[in-house]
């Protein structure tokens, strides 16, 4: 395998400040990737395509490339622009601004899972989260959202709340809705470039690309390619076993390969609140049973 076959793209956004980059680079240097790769920093929102000395020191990775972008669009738009610009690599591993690597051989584990199974996409985390019919029965639902006070008050108006719920139904499938989360995933360039849409200018569109009716996971499945989660221990999980991977919002997340803001959020709350998080992502019953009831990974979710 040639060194340039895999490109690791890390998104660095100026508006986030330097702390997320410090955290990521610390984890990158601490945990060997296990294989040769090219590093590409997607530098978003840096004026004049220049970085300060403190950034310069952190970005000094041998052979690393830099790609400067304006601060518009969301993460996935940046990923598409990067893939189109870096056309010499077969695979891309995307890590967002708040990703943190947790184990050695992390890239090798993702790469081997993809190649050995001819997968369309492999990720460090996934979820069955979808539109819940019983959403109002889930306690403390506000813990999942950080809405401003005026938005909260608007959604207390019955007809606006109804319109909001109907809008969610339009964009997002009902639970269970298996999808790979975009905080850390590996994919072939050709598959990435076949996705639609490739530009996400609103937060809802961004969420929709990750978990909506035309999510990247559903598009991969419609290409008749498989989708997998890879654990810290190197285990590879098919869709109906994601709930038992001990990764995202499960147990102590002890098998998590790459963390992010949401996994750290779960880690910081008490046991009672963790149960709410877990129910939101995985449901009350066994996830595989729920999938079979709804047509399985080759049934409803491919619709």
Cβ pair 12, 82 in contact under 8 A: no
More confident of the two residues 289 and 66: 66
Residue 290 has pLDDT above 90, yes or no: no
Q: Please tell me the distance from the alpha carbon of residue 95 to that of residue 147, in angstroms, as a whole number.
A: 26
* pLDDT in the model for residue 236: 98
The per-residue pLDDT for range 44-68, each reduced to its tens digit, is: 999 988 999 999 999 999 999 999 9
- Is the pTM higher than 0.95? no
Chain centre to alpha carbon of residue 94: 9
Tell me what the mean pLDDT of segment 99-128 comes to. Answer: 97
Residues counted in the chain: 303
Average pLDDT of the chain, as a whole number: 84
Q: Please tell me the distance from the alpha carbon of residue 37 to that of residue 6, in angstroms, as a whole number.
A: 5
* pLDDT in the model for residue 297: 37
According to DSSP, the β-strands at 91-95 and 184-188 are: antiparallel
| Residues β-bridged to residue 206 | none
* pLDDT in the model for residue 75: 81
* pLDDT in the model for residue 287: 39
Least trusted range by pLDDT, from 46-60, 112-126, 193-207: 193-207
* pLDDT in the model for residue 285: 47
Residue 151 has pLDDT above 90, yes or no: no
Least trusted range by pLDDT, from 76-85, 130-139, 210-219: 130-139
Residue 257 has pLDDT above 60, yes or no: yes
The share of the chain scoring above pLDDT 90, in percent, equals 63
**Helices 271-282 + 261-268 axis angle, to 10:** 140
Q: Which domains does the chain have, with CATH numbers?
A: 3-130+175-302 (3.90.550), 135-171 (no CATH)
More confident of the two residues 124 and 302: 124
């Amino acid at each position: 395998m040639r060194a340039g076959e895999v490109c690791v793209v890390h998104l660095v956004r100026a508006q986030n400040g330097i702390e997320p980059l410090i955290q990521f680079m610390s984890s990158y240097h601490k945990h060997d990737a296990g294989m040769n790769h090219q590093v590409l920093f997607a530098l978003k929102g840096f004026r004049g395509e220049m970085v300060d000395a403190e950034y310069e020191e952190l970005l000094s990775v041998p052979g690393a490339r830099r790609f400067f972008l304006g601060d518009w669009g969301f993460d996935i738009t940046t990923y598409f622009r990067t893939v189109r610009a870096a056309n010499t690599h077969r695979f891309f591993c995307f890590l967002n601004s708040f990703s943190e690597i947790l184990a050695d051989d992390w890239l090798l584990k993702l790469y081997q899972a993809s190649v050995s199974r001819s997968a369309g996409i492999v990720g460090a985390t996934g979820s069955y989260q979808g539109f819940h019919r019983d959403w109002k029965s889930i306690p403390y639902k506000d813990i999942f959202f950080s809405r401003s006070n005026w938005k909260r008050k608007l959604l207390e108006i019955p007809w606006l709340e109804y319109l909001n719920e109907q809008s969610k139904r339009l964009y997002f499938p009902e639970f269970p809705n298996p999808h790979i989360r975009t905080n850390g995933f590996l994919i072939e360039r050709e598959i990435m470039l076949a996705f639609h849409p490739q530009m996400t200018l609103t937060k809802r569109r961004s969420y929709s690309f990750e978990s909506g009716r035309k999510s990247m996971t559903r598009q991969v499945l419609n290409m008749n390619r498989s989708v997998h989660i890879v654990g810290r221990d190197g285990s590879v999980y098919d869709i109906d076993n994601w709930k038992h991977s001990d990764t995202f919002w499960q147990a102590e997340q002890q098998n998590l390969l790459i963390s992010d803001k949401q996994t750290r959020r779960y880690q910081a709350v008490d046991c009672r609140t963790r149960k709410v998080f877990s129910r939101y992502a995985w449901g009350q019953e066994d996830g595989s049973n729920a999938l079979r009831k709804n047509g399985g990974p080759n049934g409803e979710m491919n619709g």
